[in-house]
Amino acid sequence: MTYKEILDQMYKTPAFIPFLGINITELDSGYCKGEMELKPEHLNPLGMAHGGCVFSLADTIGGLAAISHNPEATVVTVSSNINYLRPAENTTKLVAQSREIKYGSKVAVYEVNVTSDDGTLLASAVNNYFIL
């Protein structure tokens, strides 16, 4: 499967990722970058991006990076540890960028940083994906 086919499959599936409005801006072997425009429904009662939206973006970007390492494999999240470093406020979008730590025979590990539109680091996650 090519990178274009991976993205086409993701966008044509009427599911959670398109529902959130996640847009992939870069995809390469073991690497992914994407963003999510914030809408009122993404905010918590305090007017900040809901932590679940931040997490969902980090998991999606890490997972696509793992898929792009080997487009013939299927990956599922095994575990994730996210650290929320700053509130996601006063920003129009969230931007996430992944970095491959390890791609093994059964488990892939990715670090994903989520920033505001001005580049302020909001959250950092380490995600583990099982390779099927």
HEC assignment per residue over 69-92: HCCCCCEEEEEEEEEECCCCCCCC
Structure token pair of residue 89: 């406020």
Q: What pLDDT does residue 7 have?
A: 77
Q: What pLDDT does residue 15 have?
A: 77
Q: What pLDDT does residue 32 have?
A: 96
All residues at 6 or more sequence positions from 30 whose CB lies less than 8 Å from its CB, including other chains: 65, 66, 68, 69, 100, 103
How many domains does one find in the chain?
1
Q: Which domain holds residue 54?
A: 3-131
**Taking a C-beta distance cutoff of 8 angstroms, is the pair 104, 70 a contact?**
no
Q: What pLDDT does residue 93 have?
A: 98
pLDDT per residue, tens digit, the chain (132 aa), is 677 887 777 777 667 888 899 999 999 999 999 999 999 999 999 999 999 999 999 999 999 999 999 988 999 999 999 999 999 999 999 999 999 999 999 999 999 999 999 999 999 999 999 999
Question: Which CATH number fits the domain that encloses residue 86?
Answer: 3.10.129.10
Q: What pLDDT does residue 19 have?
A: 86
Structure token pair of residue 36: 């999510």
**Pairwise CA distance, residues 74 & 51, whole Å:** 26
